């Protein structure tokens, strides 16, 4: 079920691709696009209450024995239990503002009662949630005092999802770390919401928060087979649909950008170099590939990492960054062995990293030096 709002429109449930064009020295029409919502709200709408209706389903990982599989109609549905967690109890009980807002209703004591904290910890230490064979649904809907508060939280949540989506899904270890970090940061964000409203069902909302921190619950379905200790997974159809929609939009955008690279050989080569760096390839070898081979590598990167490709394409300094890498390759600039510091072959300091080197060469005072390096590379 998607979010509902007490105002005329439902925010944050869709996105569109906005494309603008600007003049560039290398490319006459250089597209810079952003994927964002463009809905505008009146002051009255922004200050109106808003309910974000949302439910998730906790499903068991099905590891049935052959005996149970054959006799499942006789044995009935297998039930599994999500119990307490030291991490969850510690994290959830440490948020003073939140427990004082939610837990009086759950434990029957006011925050001023001397036994309040111990009762809260007792509640968290004795969580027991039975998950049936087809999954059990948790209502984590939240009523905000103002729509504008929801929009701020939603914006931060989208940023966390974007960070999570940069993880290499072909690297299980990297993906697991990214998902765990996302879950911890999401829990921190959820821990601020008490200031802006209240869950519709506090008991189930706390259970949802518990599952975010519970090790046996996979927060990404692709991790199920990577860890035998995982017994459950979260099915969030709304977020998954939104994630897939954004990926499709990013891919469409990346394909348009890929085609647009034909308008500039220098920019295409610059983006290619950035892709090589991202892939950890040897520039000396990779730059000697044929044009067709370079196209194939770019296309593969577009399909696997459309968001990263779009960032490279829209980076106004992408050509300068790649030029700096070529200077390093040619020995005109030297990168320190154990860090990213860059200096000239004569030992003159340029910057602590590529970003600082870009700032150095973008400085009008260093224009002559930049042109000198360009001439050297053109003659090489």
- What percent of the chain has a predicted confidence (pLDDT) above 90? 68
Write the pLDDT tens digit of every residue in 3-60: 444 443 445 443 332 333 333 433 333 333 434 444 789 999 999 999 999 999 999 9
| Helices marked H in 214-353 | 237-260, 265-279, 283-286, 291-304, 306-314, 318-330
Q: What is the pTM of this model?
A: 0.60
| Tokens of residue 362, six digits | 């973008």
- pLDDT score of 114: 96
Average pLDDT in the 235-256 region? Answer: 85
| Tokens of residue 355, six digits | 């970003």
Write the pLDDT tens digit of every residue in 305-320: 999 999 999 999 999 9
Q: By C-alpha distance, which of 18, 194, 214, 182 is closest to 97?
A: 194
Write the pLDDT tens digit of every residue in 263-296: 999 999 999 999 999 999 989 899 999 999 999 9
Query: How far apart, in whole angstroms, are the C-alpha atoms of residue 369 and residue 375?
Result: 10
Helices and strands of the chain, counted as H and E runs: 17, 15
The single residue listed with the structure tokens 């434990």 is: 107
Sign of the CA dihedral running 169, 175, 181, 186: positive
Radius of gyration of the CA atoms of the chain, in A: 26
- pLDDT score of 376: 87
How does residue 257 score in pLDDT terms, banded at 50, 70 and 90?
A: very high
Helix then strand then coil, % of the chain, to nearest 5 = 55, 15, 30
Sign of the CA dihedral running 207, 64, 174, 152: negative
59 phi and psi angles, rounded to 5 deg: -115, 145
| pLDDT of 103 over the 80 cut | yes
Write the pLDDT tens digit of every residue in 134-162: 899 999 999 999 999 999 999 999 899 88
- pLDDT score of 5: 43
Q: By C-alpha distance, which of 173, 176, 166, 174 is closest to 305?
A: 166
| Tokens of residue 329, six digits | 């390759």
Three-point CA angle 314, 282, 344, nearest 5°: 75
- DSSP structure string for 129-181: EEE-TT-EEEE--EEES-HHHHHHHHHHHHHHHHHHHTS-TT-HHHHHHHHHH
139 phi and psi angles, rounded to 5 deg: -90, 110
- pLDDT score of 64: 47
Average pLDDT in the 216-232 region? Answer: 87
Task: Give burial (CB, 10 Å; 0-12/13-18/19+) of 50.
Answer: buried
């Amino acid at each position: 079920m998607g979010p509902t709002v007490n105002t005329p429109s439902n925010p944050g449930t869709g996105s569109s691709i906005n494309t603008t064009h600007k003049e560039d020295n290398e490319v006459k029409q250089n597209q810079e696009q952003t994927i964002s919502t463009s809905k505008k709200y009146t002051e009255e709408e922004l200050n109106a209450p808003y309910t974000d209706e949302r439910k998730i389903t906790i499903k068991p990982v099905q590891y049935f024995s052959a005996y149970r599989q054959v006799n499942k109609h006789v044995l009935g549905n297998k039930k599994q239990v999500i119990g307490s967690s030291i991490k969850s109890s510690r994290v959830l009980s440490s948020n003073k503002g939140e427990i004082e807002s939610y837990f009086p209703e759950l434990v029957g004591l006011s925050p001023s009662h001397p036994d309040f904290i111990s009762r809260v910890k007792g509640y968290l230490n004795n969580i027991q949630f039975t998950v049936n064979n087809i999954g059990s649904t948790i209502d984590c809907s939240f009523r905000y005092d103002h729509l504008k508060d929801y929009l701020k939280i939603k914006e931060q949540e989208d940023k966390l999802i974007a960070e999570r989506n940069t993880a290499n899904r072909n690297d299980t270890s990297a993906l697991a770390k990214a998902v765990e970090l996302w879950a911890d940061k999401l829990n921190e964000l959820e821990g601020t919401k008490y200031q802006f409203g209240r869950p519709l069902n506090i008991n189930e909302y706390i259970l949802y928060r518990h599952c975010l921190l519970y090790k046996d619950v996979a927060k990404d379905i692709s991790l199920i087979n990577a860890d035998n200790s995982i017994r459950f997974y979260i099915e969030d159809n709304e977020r998954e649909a939104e994630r897939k929609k954004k990926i499709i939009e990013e891919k469409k955008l990346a394909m348009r950008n890929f085609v647009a690279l034909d308008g500039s050989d220098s920019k295409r080569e610059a983006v290619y170099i950035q892709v090589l760096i991202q892939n950890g390839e040897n520039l000396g070898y990779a730059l000697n590939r044929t044009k067709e081979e370079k196209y194939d590598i770019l296309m593969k990167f577009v399909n696997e990492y459309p968001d990263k490709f779009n960032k490279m394409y829209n980076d106004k300094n992408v050509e300068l960054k790649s030029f700096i890498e070529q200077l390093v390759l040619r020995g005109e600039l030297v990168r320190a062995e154990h860090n990213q510091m860059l200096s000239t072959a004569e030992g003159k300091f340029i910057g602590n990293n590529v970003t600082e080197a870009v700032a150095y060469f973008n400085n009008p005072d260093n224009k002559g030096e930049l042109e000198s390096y360009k001439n050297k590379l053109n003659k090489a």
